[in-house]
């Protein structure tokens, strides 16, 4: 098992060894990437809002991404003053197509940090919806001329793709494994990666931290932690996270209970396909991604079985350092890192 994890560790530092692996960091410490920084003003408020949405585009060699942030539909009803009505869809239901949004609350792209794990991410705005229409309000069977926004959330049983809210549209040019770093305020909310062709949610592996899940003395005995880590947050494998879910939870729940989650979701991506990343009825933080052409999702998991605390003298001080998402970090980064093909805790 340790040999397998050593090989995976080597794969994570492929940016310095294998030019094929590529990564993108949406944020480093408190600084947004240039793509995000270019579209925000003071306090992270988006300056490029059009028809109720702010879009940010970025890419690496084989991956292109469009991040979309929108105001929550509930903020836009405004007594019918903030929406423009388009084509009549159903006279019986008095439901009309929403074709434009004339005014919005602030849309923000903000830098945030989980804190003790030093997990920086971009927090966007907008609860995702697969459709958003304007519905006329009737009183005693008579139309009032005032409209409210009617939203339909994504349902994995029927499929679809987000039309508004906060989501990430990811396209891969070649086959490979895609790992995306995310933060979720509530781990018991559903998280989806949807195939843009079939409009169906696809399975993924998940790994990371869940608030309240800490290393114990049993982990030390099992060789999964050091004595110094007891009581600190535990990096959980996919199997460990699945085991934490109750029988009533769906496969799309990434965490356990009403707790923060921060870590990775990983899929097998196909050449020329587009994937939509979003939460079903909440908003998701985005850290960045690692893409490994020709690899499978099983090969890209971090797979920590044991973590060795290594003295600084045991490492080449000039060797690059990477976090568990495969992204290069500085010597000031705190947490589990990979250097010289070894995993260790940098304090």
Q: What's the predicted TM-score (pTM) here?
A: 0.76
Strand partners, 70: 53
| pLDDT for the residue numbered 275 | 98
Inform me whether the pLDDT recorded for 143 exceeds 90.
Answer: no
Average pLDDT, the chain: 79
Q: Tell me: the pLDDT tens digits for 26-36?
A: 998 789 999 99
pLDDT of residue 288 exceeding 60: yes
Q: What pLDDT sits at residue 13?
A: 38
Query: If you average pLDDT over residues 50-72, what whole number do you get?
Result: 92
Q: What is the pLDDT of residue 305?
A: 34
pLDDT of residue 117: 83
- Does the pLDDT of residue 314 top 50, yes or no? no
The residues spanned by each domain of the chain are 2-71+106-128+164-346
Q: Which three-class secondary structure string do you get for 14-36? A: HHHHCCCCEEEECEECCEECHHH
pLDDT at 169 over 90: yes
The phi, psi pair for 228, rounded to 5°, reads -70, -20
- The average pLDDT across 304-312 equals 36
DSSP 76-105: S-GGGTSEEEEEEEETTTTEEEEEEE---P
Query: Is the pLDDT confidence value at 98 over 60?
Result: no
Answer with the residue of higher pLDDT: 147 or 265: 265
User: Per-residue pLDDT tens for 2-51?
Assistant: 333 333 333 343 333 344 899 999 998 789 999 999 999 988 999 998 87
Burial of residue 130, with CB atoms counted within 10 A of its CB: 0-12 exposed, 13-18 middle, 19 or more buried: buried
Between CA 115 and CA 112 the distance in angstroms is 9
Supply the pLDDT for residue 304.
Answer: 41
Identify the weakest region by mean pLDDT among 106-110, 207-211, 237-241, 299-303.
299-303
Residue 291 pLDDT > 90: yes
């Amino acid at each position: 098992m340790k040999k397998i994890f050593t090989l995976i560790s080597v794969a994570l530092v492929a940016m310095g060894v294998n030019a094929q692996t590529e990564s993108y960091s949406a944020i480093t410490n408190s600084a947004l990437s240039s793509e995000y920084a270019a579209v925000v003003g003071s306090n992270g408020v988006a300056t490029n809002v059009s028809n109720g949405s702010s879009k940010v585009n970025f890419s690496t060699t084989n991956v292109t991404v469009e991040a979309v942030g929108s105001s929550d539909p509930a903020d836009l009803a405004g007594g019918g003053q903030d929406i423009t009505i388009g084509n009549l869809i159903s006279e019986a239901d008095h439901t009309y197509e929403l074709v434009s949004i004339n005014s919005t609350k602030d849309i923000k792209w903000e830098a945030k940090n989980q804190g003790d794990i030093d997990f920086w991410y971009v927090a966007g705005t907008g609860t995702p919806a697969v459709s958003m229409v304007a519905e006329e309000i009737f009183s005693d069977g008579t139309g009032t001329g005032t409209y409210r926004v009617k939203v339909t959330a994504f349902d994995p049983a029927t499929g679809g793709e987000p039309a508004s809210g906060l989501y990430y549209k990811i396209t891969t040019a070649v086959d490979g494994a895609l790992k995306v770093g995310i933060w979720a305020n509530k781990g018991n909310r559903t998280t989806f990666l949807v195939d843009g062709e079939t409009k169906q949610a696809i399975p993924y592996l998940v790994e990371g931290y869940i608030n309240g899940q800490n290393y114990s003395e049993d982990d030390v005995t099992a060789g999964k932690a050091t004595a110094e880590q007891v009581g600190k947050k535990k990096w959980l494998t996919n199997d460990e996270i699945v085991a934490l879910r109750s029988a009533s939870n769906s496969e799309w729940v990434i965490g356990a209970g009403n707790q923060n989650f921060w870590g990775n979701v990983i899929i097998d991506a196909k050449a020329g396909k587009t994937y939509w990343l979003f939460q079903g009825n909440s908003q998701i933080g985005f850290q960045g991604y690692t893409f490994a052409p020709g690899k499978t999702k099983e090969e890209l998991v971090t797979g920590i079985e044991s973590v060795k605390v290594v003295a600084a003298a045991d490492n080449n001080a000039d060797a690059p350092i990477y976090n568990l998402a495969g992204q290069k970090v500085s010597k000031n980064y705190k947490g589990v890192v990979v250097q010289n093909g070894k995993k260790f805790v940098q304090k």
